[in-house]
Structure 1
Amino acid sequence: MKKLLFIFASMFFMFACTQEEENLLPTNEKATAETSKLNTAEAQLRFAKLLSQAASSSVEVRNFLKKEAIKQFDNDYDIFYPIVKDKIVTDGKSFKDILLSYCNTPNELTEIEQSQLLLNILIPDLTLFWNFNAEKWDTNNKEIVVLCRDDERDTMYENGENIGQMEKGNIPGFPCLVVKNNERLNIKTINTRSGEITYEFISDAYDRSKRIDKPATRHSERDDALEPTENLTIGIASSEFKANIVEAWNELKNIRGAYQRDYIYYGITKDNKPGILNRNIREELYRFRIQPEAFTKISDQDKVDPTLQTPTQEKRYLTYDEIMKKIWSDGMFEFRFKSYIASDNNDKAMEHLLTFSVDPRDLFSIEKIHVKHKNSTAFRHSKNFYSVNPANLKSKWYYPAKHSYTQNSVFTLPWDLYSKSLVIHLFVEEHDDAQEKKESRTIVNEFVNKADFSIEGGGEIDKIKLTAKLGYGISSTKTTTTVTEISTTLGSDNLGVLSFFYHDPIIKSESNGLYNVYSVFNGTVEATLLPKDILK
């Protein structure tokens, strides 16, 4: 609970209303209480003129202000006017009495008080620049300048006279006081009958009575947790599969030398009878992720690739939604996956390009965000700075089909082992616009023994002869090397190659109804291919 701080009231109203029920207004209705027509800057300037006269003319006033500031009731060198105005300064005169002696009209100070219910005097801590703060103020020196926080012209008053404007961005090299509203307090309620006002601290961190250690420093830094980290190893539900993958797992998981894709592509069961190629099955890029260590590499194109920003906010902290909106710059990463499956006749190699525009928020989570807080001073509001160390980025799985890439995320031809390699190669890059270039890549391919297949036994559809696989597994293979040409650009970031084999498992294990599926990882990119029935 925030501590209720002070209660002030006119003595006349206090006695007049002792028998009446209090009529309290909450803070957001305080404007209905008596207020003058002075705006904040006007009221502060009038008060600054009076204060400068009082401070320049009386060492007792200067000593009084110094003593009150050193108390640091809100953990800063603040002198809250509603607290101190009725305190005796000298010769039985209160601080308010002394200020009234410099007023041109009896109502001048009342108008200021009514318009500025949080009126405050700050002795700024300028020890970062020169030897001045409340403790170090030599009050025997009557030269003291008064400025106002909300005066855009930065007018300086000395002994009631306007002595000019301080240049923007300058730090005073002379003793000074700053008139401002206290930003560490809120108005809790206003009693319109009694004139009573109650205040509370915005945070217990500002309440000196609750401080048990050193006062808060002017600046602080910390790391805050921001987003939960995704569990990259959790299994997936059977509803995610778009082919009979679970059936293949259950049918062949205990059969040595049998491949799950034999069941899916050719319908070969544990009975090991010949099966015909199902030409409706394709390999789908089910998901992929990028290692956070690659972030600097893929965000290198200025004003195009998304980058991490350092947003700031005055007076308050940003909300989670505001941070997530501001911490990333505009733009999308463009990832390209070029698939290549060699043919025993190289002129008929199967190639297909998959392109995805990805929001960085879908690719990385931010585990921690660094917050640097600068407290308010006489010359600026409090300010918070937000930044992210790339080491605090965590990888997330990206699912193309969940981002409307359902047609583009499958390969165009079935994986026919009679004429195609056992290996699908995926060349991955983060694409940046620049001059196109061609690159030659040498890859290793693996082909099955034709003796494992029969064309005659496969039949035909629309005069296309279908191959029949004579049983699960492969009796023997042959390895070849081919050179393929990759189209890319000078600015694109090569993220390596992923190689998937027909005989790789699809499901590796099952636990509590979730399935752990096989993925390929090259140190930068990890991806999962799953067979998909295009008719489902």
Structure 2
Amino acid sequence: MRKSILLMLGVLSLFSCIQDENVFLVNESDEAKVQELTATEAQSKFARILSKAVSGSVEVRRFLKDEALKQFDNDYDVFYPYVKDKVVQGSQTFRDILLSYCDSDKELEQVEQAQPLLTILVPDLTLFWEFDASKWDVYDEEVAVLCREDKDNTLYENGEAIGQMETGDIPAFPCLVVKTNERLRVNTSVTRADGGASYEFVDDAFDGSKRAPQTRHWDADIPLEPQEDLEAYVSGSSLLPSVIQSYKEFKNVFNAFHRDYVYYGITKENKPGILNQRIREKLYRMCINPTAFIRLSDDEVDPKLQNTTQEKRQLSNAEILQRIWTDGAFEFRIYYYVGAENDDKVMDRKMSFTCRADKLFSVSQVHLHHKNSTAFRHQKNFYTVDAKNLKPKWLYVDKLFDKGQNRVFTGPWDLYSNSSVIYMFASEFDPDGSKTITKTVSSEYVNKADFSIESEKGDFPVKLGYGFSSTKRVTAVAEIETTIGSDELGTIELRFTDPIILDDKNGTYRLYNCSSGDLQVTFLPIDSYK
């Protein structure tokens, strides 16, 4: 089989569009049913079952090809709720055949409950090689199945996991994609007589029965990507155990700070603690206000949005996303400043990294202008993208660095000598003439009376309980070497007294974010020895 041949052109081209988990509504009783399986579990389970059916039956392959070619939603989608009861061979329906490959009826029922918009896509890969629904040779029994929600891109054939595609690969062999249909939603206002769900199109532009409009041209706004919830809770596995424990320890303790526990080991009993030299702060994630995009993309090498066109057919959402972003990446320069009481200069550290624009922003929709074909030309689709439809996304900075690279910006937070406030200045770097800019920073130092004895070595101050009796404020000037064309994103202040966790829910946590100007960031303490 040709599964060893992979074209390095972007795995997103597999998918006809990006799934929007918010495009359909489920009432409370339905929601209770789908909790048994997650979307990933349901799709993976269905992918295994489907891979057995398509490997074992040419009739199933022909059935899926014929259904895909109908393009009921203007894509090569086979909507499972619509086709499951259709006869494939003899008296067997599609669902009957799938059940014959299940360990029990309940196995398929769980998938159906968890994925009310379950869909099988025959991907259009004609941009890369000759495969789509119309070119599918159903007599070739070697067909791979994968599912959109699986971050590992696991390939299934005849019920077995046969490997994983690397990010950026395109399969050069027949394949099917299990997904949620983003062009439909459950119509909760309509109840079918048989008790089943009723469905409706998100937009008339997706209704295949209206594929041939009477007018020569028509327009539609196409939903493209879901908007990320920036306040979403994160898994506890992302946090240092002492961070979680500090939240639990001081949840209802007045004048105690999370970092008292993390850095000094001080508990709610308020006994003196010793500075943990291993703990550092890191830039966990950042997001940028989309209103700053035009300013950030002003240099020739910066990524930009562009319109695109396609003759004969409509583009999938993945294809649109691949085309509307130009090449290039933003380069960010991060400067950190923390004052030291025994030094008239602020200590500084620098960090830089690059990232593509689609890692920072999602595109909520594009405008489609369709021109019908005539005797002299093919039909043509014009896709127009507007920066006002950009939405912010969290950029997880860790993922941009190789393991072992330095991602921290300060030493141990020693309040005996250093300021209780750390400043971060961020800019998008553009090559141009160099310049020096100055920033005034106001350092705050804890009263030495808040500390008791020092250790025998004299370099690990002991903190006396939590809270500060008083602070001393000292101003200083920080100098930043930058360029004339670089775009400033704002100044962030991280205070020792800032919380780390704001709320918890079922083992997940809502984090405290610092923000200023066009920038919002999350800092997390980490163990620098791990």
TM bin, normalised by shorter chain, reads 0.5 to 0.7
Q: Deviations over 1:266-298 (max 9, x none)?
A: 111111111111110000101100011111111
After TM superposition, give the deviation of residue 348 of structure 1 in Å: 5.5
Q: Which residue of 1 aligns with 2:472?
A: 478
Amino acid at match of 1:371: L
Amino acid at match of 2:406: N
After TM superposition, give the deviation of residue 251 of structure 1 in Å: 1.1
Distance change >3 Å, CA 238–CA 436, structure 1 → 2: same
Amino acid at match of 1:325: Q
5 Å matches for 1:457-496? 457-460=454-457, 465-496=459-490
Amino acid at match of 1:269: T
2:325 to 302, 323, 328: 328
After TM superposition, give the deviation of residue 450 of structure 1 in Å: 1.2
5 Å matches for 1:234-245? 234-245=232-243
Aligned equivalents of 1:280, 1:396: Cα separation in 2: 31
1:410 to 403, 408, 411: 408
Aligned 8 A contact 2:345 2:476 in 1: no
Aligned equivalents of 2:456, 2:496: Cα separation in 1: 23
Aligned 8 A contact 2:250 2:258 in 1: yes
Amino acid at match of 2:275: L
Q: Deviations over 1:345-369 (max 9, x none)?
A: 3356321112121111111111111
- The higher radius of gyration belongs to 1
2:282 equivalent to 1:284: yes
Amino acid at match of 1:424: I
Structure 1 residues not aligned, in runs of 5+ = 1-25, 29-201
Distance change >3 Å, CA 443–CA 381, structure 1 → 2: same
Aligned equivalents of 1:528, 1:522: Cα separation in 2: 12
Aligned 8 A contact 1:277 1:416 in 2: yes
Q: Which residue of 2 aligns with 1:345?
A: 342
Q: Deviations over 1:468-494 (max 9, x none)?
A: 111111110011211110111011001
Q: Which residue of 1 aligns with 2:310?
A: 313
Amino acid at match of 2:398: A
Aligned 8 A contact 2:331 2:355 in 1: yes
Q: Deviations over 1:168-206 (max 9, x none)?
A: xxxxxxxxxxxxxxxxxxxxxxxxxxxxxxxxxx96446
Aligned equivalents of 1:206, 1:261: Cα separation in 2: 60
5 Å matches for 1:64-143? none
Q: Which residue of 1 aligns with 2:396?
A: 399
Aligned equivalents of 2:209, 2:272: Cα separation in 1: 77
Distance change >3 Å, CA 204–CA 243, structure 1 → 2: closer
2:261 equivalent to 1:267: no
Amino acid at match of 1:282: R
Q: Deviations over 1:212-257 (max 9, x none)?
A: xxx22x2222111011111111111111013510111111222111
After TM superposition, the runs of 4+ consecutive aligned structure 1 residues lying more than 4 A away are: none
Amino acid at match of 1:250: K
2:437 equivalent to 1:443: no
Amino acid at match of 1:383: K
1:232 to 230, 233, 240: 230
Q: Which residue of 2 aligns with 1:85?
A: none
Distance change >3 Å, CA 301–CA 204, structure 1 → 2: same
Amino acid at match of 2:237: S
Aligned equivalents of 1:324, 1:333: Cα separation in 2: 18
2:359 equivalent to 1:362: yes
SS at match of 1:465: coil
5 Å matches for 1:163-178? none
Q: Which residue of 2 aligns with 1:509?
A: 503
SS at match of 1:284: strand
Distance change >3 Å, CA 437–CA 384, structure 1 → 2: same
After TM superposition, give the deviation of residue 523 of structure 1 in Å: 3.7
Aligned 8 A contact 1:243 1:531 in 2: no
SS at match of 2:395: coil
SS at match of 2:438: strand
After TM superposition, give the deviation of residue 457 of structure 1 in Å: 2.7
SS at match of 1:443: strand
SS at match of 2:425: strand
Q: Which residue of 2 aligns with 1:497?
A: 491
Aligned 8 A contact 1:305 1:331 in 2: yes
Q: Percent identity?
A: 47
Distance change >3 Å, CA 437–CA 206, structure 1 → 2: closer
Q: Deviations over 1:291-326 (max 9, x none)?
A: 111111111102x10000111111111122211211
Aligned 8 A contact 2:344 2:476 in 1: no
Q: Which residue of 1 aligns with 2:48?
A: none
1:255 to 250, 253, 256: 253
SS at match of 1:335: strand
SS at match of 2:340: coil
Q: Which residue of 2 aligns with 1:518?
A: 512
Aligned equivalents of 2:229, 2:357: Cα separation in 1: 18
SS at match of 2:359: helix
Aligned equivalents of 1:205, 1:515: Cα separation in 2: 46
Q: Deviations over 1:371-426 (max 9, x none)?
A: 11122234332211112111111110011112335533212411111111111111
Q: Which residue of 2 aligns with 1:97?
A: none
Q: Which residue of 2 aligns with 1:530?
A: 524
Q: Considering only aligned residues, what root-mean-square deviation do their CA atoms show, in Å? A: 2.2
The number of equivalent residue pairs is 326
Q: Which residue of 2 aligns with 1:9?
A: none
Structure 2 residues not aligned, in runs of 5+ = 1-62, 66-206
Amino acid at match of 2:529: L
